[in-house]
Structure 1
Amino acid sequence: MMQTVTFWFDCTCPFAWATSRWMKEVEKVRDISVEFKPMSLSVLNDGRDLDPDYMEMMKANWGPARVAAKIMLEAPEKIDAYYTAMGTRIHGAGEGGKKGYGAYDDIITAALADAALPAEFASVANTEEVDEDLRTFHHEGISEVGDDVGTPVVKLGDTAFFGPVITRIPTGEEAGEIFDAAVRLAQYPYFFEIKRTRTEMPQVRDN
């Protein structure tokens, strides 16, 4: 029986990207289907008193997340393709970390074309037209895990977690074995978290 894994993402988050590419590898070796849904670091950090440089990145991050919400509303079958097209540019090609409203507009336009989505979807990137819907999608994921998290949020069976956080992307049977272990942990109702100090950022640049 095919298992659905629900995966809440922000296009700009390198940790979500690494974990999502692992999930795509797992789809090749396990009977699972990954259902992607948007969440937003900009929504998560809205109104917080954080480092000014970081908050400039949060301004830029609104655009990709708003477009993801538009796609989820009108063409949800394309959300995976949009995320892949965005992530390949932002993370694979090293075009992330942009600052200021509208900074990802060119990447959004290219990603919509790659995903065979209407170019006019980009129009919501710099408006508040879908913000209520984006917040709803975001809070759907957050409600599964609590407030003290970021992206990704991954639901395995009946249980969701922030993470798993990985910095390299396992492939083949190793990807499946790590997934099996994560599912087994999720099945134990009293397991909540496991953590250690991270010593590197995700290594996801295309060579």
Structure 2
Amino acid sequence: MEATYFFDPACPFTWRTSRWLLAVAESRDITIHWRAFSLSILNGDNVPEQYRPMMAASTKALRLVEALRADRRDATIGAFYTEIGNRTHEAGAFLTDEIVLEAAAAAGVADAKAVLDDPAWDESVRSSHETGFAAAGPGIGSPVLMIEGAERGLHGPIIGEVPAHDESLAIWDAVVPLMRSGVFFELKRGRG
């Protein structure tokens, strides 16, 4: 099965969901395609000052995501995102330009700095973001999950932590038929 995961690397909930998706991918024979989803584009200028440097670093990371996608390097995108998440979400640190560059190097991306600093990739990021948003929106954020056989994507699933393997598989097995339903829209409960 093919799954496309639209993500913003700065979002901790998106990180957890990506780890869940990776945990079920092998057991359910899922091929993951990684795409950019920009919280900066989504929120525009409505970003508190203390988060602006993190969002700027995320913008650079998403440029590299789309450049790698253009080269059909999903495995490298996955490795790059893993390196970012380990350095930020797992380490309790905010995303920075330095972390993005370190993560790219650790994922084996040569000469990443040229792409990170190239605003020519911003249109590809915007296009990817708009594709993800159109698939699951309105009123959504990062992440967006799309699977083959489903007309629309889904925002989420949003999880508080990555569950044990059996529970991860049960969530996947519940999400797939909901996504493929033409009448299903939303399940939600408050975070607590």
Q: Contact (CA 8 Å) 2:57, 2:100: kept in 1 or not?
A: no
1:26 maps to what in 2? 24
Q: Tell me if structure 2 keeps the 8 A contact 1:39–1:134.
A: yes
Amino-acid identity (%): 34
| TM-fit CA distance, 1:124 | 3.2
Deviation at residue 31 of structure 1 after TM alignment: 2.0
1:155 matched to 2:149? The reply is no
| Greater Cα offset, 11-20 or 36-45 | 36-45
Unaligned runs of 5+ in 2: none
Q: RMSD in angstroms over aligned alpha carbons?
A: 1.8
Does 1:52 find its partner at 2:49? yes
**Matched length:** 189
Assess, with a 3 A threshold, how the Cα gap between structure 1 residues 69 and 37 changes in structure 2: closer, same or farther: same
Alignment of 1:29-178 (within 5 A): 29-46=27-44, 48-74=45-71, 76-77=73-74, 78-96=76-94, 98=95, 104-118=96-110, 120-157=111-148, 158=150, 159-178=152-171
Question: Offset at 1:76?
Answer: 2.3
Partner SS for 2:26: helix
Structure 1: stretches of 5+ with no match in the other structure: 99-103, 200-207
Q: Which amino acid aligns with 2:158?
A: V
- With the length of structure 2 as denominator, give the TM-score of the two structures: 0.89
Q: What is the match of residue 12 of structure 2? A: 14
Residue 186 of structure 1 aligns with which residue? 179
Kept in 2: contact 1:152–1:162 (CA 8 A): yes
Q: 1: CA distance between counterparts of 2:14 and 2:91?
A: 16
TM (norm. structure 1) is 0.83
Contact kept? 2:144, 2:156, Cα under 8 Å: yes
Alpha-carbon distance in 1 for matches of 2:173, 2:2 = 14
